[in-house]
Structure 1
Amino acid sequence: MKSKSVIFSLIMLVAGFLISFSYQLTKEQQVLHPLSTEQWEKEYKIRNDLIQQEEKNRSLQQELYQKQEQVRQLEEDLKNEKQIYFNLVEDVEKYRMFTGEVGVAGAGVQVTLDDSSYIPEGENVNNYIVHESHVFKVVNELLIAGASAVSINGQRLSHNSYIFCNGPVITVDGNQFPAPFVISAIGDPDVLVPALNISGGTVEQLAFDNIVVTLEKRDSVVMNPLLRDGNSS
């Protein structure tokens, strides 16, 4: 019974050795030949495809960056063009306003020039009445100070208006007006009034010439567009 047990143990030992040897041999073969040729080729192809895809992705990414830069440049150009067009429209509106083609309204001032109510005996009456030179002084000062539109007794002035004195009346673009002469201007009253009232300026000069001057700020001054005949340019 004991000898059989020894033989059985010996058989088990040999079997264990064979199993262990077979496992080790298989493992070594897997290390030496991990993949079959077919598997290796398949893996190689997959690796190459992956590399190519990554290169394509990088190329597409670069192209995307370029397109984004082009879009950004186009947006910048459109923005600049929009600003240019806006400025052009603004300029056109200003020119139409200056030439009197459109009606305008806004805050401004009203300057009234009147003949002197007192003429000393023996004095020349022409030294006490309003002349076109007095009107020109007020109009020019208002325009220099930034007035966008000016009218005289409701007659709106344009870039080619003419004013001259004809006895006791003043003619503005063919229309005659007697004193008092009401000169209205659209612009910032806080700029126009100080410009006229500056020391030694227009108002003082007019007073020195015996002209009665009334200066008022106005919240709203309205001027209609100029009416032109068919021969006007």
Structure 2
Amino acid sequence: MKQLKNSRTQTPNKKKSRKSILFTIAFIVLGFILAYSYNLSGSGSDEEEYTGGEYFGQEEYFREQLIEQQERNKELREELQDKQALVQEYEQDFSENEEDFANYALEAEQLRLWLGDMPIQGEGLRVVLNDADYGTGNLNPNDFIVHEGHIFQVINELNISGAQAIAINGQRIDGNSYIVCTGPVITVDGIQHPAPFIIEAIGKADVLAAAMQLNGGVLDQLVNDNLVVTLEQSQTISMPALLTES
């Protein structure tokens, strides 16, 4: 009976030891679980913090790049405006120079025409001077023939009236031409021409004719000098260039 009592008293102690061991193991496992969970949560927050910082850095970088590009675009727009203004200035200068060049070319052509370096054609007036018939009386034949003075009268009046070019019997003359009367012929720049003397002038035909026919003017004076004078307005008079010495 004593042995049975001892075995009953040992059984509760064994149960109490097992429970302690189980609780210990459970607490250890729970500790590991809590520690592992804490590590996981800590690493996650670091990753999120790292990702957020990296994104903020990229955003700041792109913002700076955008600002730099906008500044560069502004500089390029200003440069483009300057270039456009320069092109407009060049175009205006070119237009003005082109107009000036056209004016210079026209003046040069008119000057060449006036100097006689080029043939010329246009409307104008044709004045024909011819000797008069003095009959068989005791009259001086010199009073009935054309002299260089008569030709100079016509030429001067035509020049004053705006003639652009003048020719005598088809020979072009200018301000340096010399005209000499030798009997029934005249010599123009060394070339002799017999009567009738055809003096042609290119210009406004009606103006030239009106100037010649003024009362008491050149036409009346020539008629009073016993010369035969005819006037003819023409729409087309052609003249060669001046004869030049080779």
**TM-score interval w.r.t. the shorter chain?**
0.7 to 0.9
Deviation at 1:163?
0.6
Amino acid across the alignment from 1:149: A
Alignment of 1:198 onto 2:222? no
Aligned to 1:64: 80
Partner of 2:88: helix, strand, or coil? helix
Find the counterpart in structure 2 of residue 102 from structure 1: 118
After TM superposition, the structure 1 stretch with the greater mean CA deviation from structure 2, 153-162 or 119-128, is 119-128
Q: Can you give the 5+ residue segments of structure 1 that lack an aligned partner in the other structure? A: 1-35
Give the whole-Å Cα distance in 2 for the aligned partners of 1:46 and 1:64: 26
**Aligned mates of 1:198, 1:213 — CA distance in 2:** 14
Whether the 8 Å CA contact 2:172–2:243 is kept in 1: the answer is no
Task: Answer yes or no: is 1:167 the counterpart of 2:183.
Answer: yes
Cα distance in 2 between the residues matched to 1:120 and 1:60: 100
Contact persistence 1:119–1:125 (CA under 8 A): no
Displacement after TM superposition at 1:158 (Å): 3.0
Q: Mark the runs of 5 or more structure 2 residues left unpaired by the alignment.
A: 1-51
Identity %: 45
TM-score of the aligned structures, taking structure 2 as reference length:
0.69
Please tell me whether residue 132 in structure 1 is matched to residue 160 in structure 2: no
Tell me the secondary structure at the aligned position of residue 134 of structure 1.
helix
- Native 8 Å contact 2:162 2:203 kept in 1: yes
* C-alpha contact 1:103 1:225 (8 A) present in aligned 2: yes
Aligned residues: 196
Q: Is the 8 A contact 1:104 1:222 kept in 2?
A: yes
Shift of 1:51: 2.8
**TM-score, length basis structure 1:** 0.72
CA distance in 2, matches of 1:128, 1:145: 27
* Larger Rg computed on CA atoms: 2
Q: CA RMSD in A?
A: 2.6
- Aligned partner letter, 2:201: A
Deviates more, 1:220-229 or 1:114-123: 114-123
The question of whether the paired residues in 2 share the 8 Å contact of 1:119 and 1:128 is answered with no
Q: Secondary structure at the match of 1:80?
A: helix
The structure with more helix, counted as a fraction of residues? 2
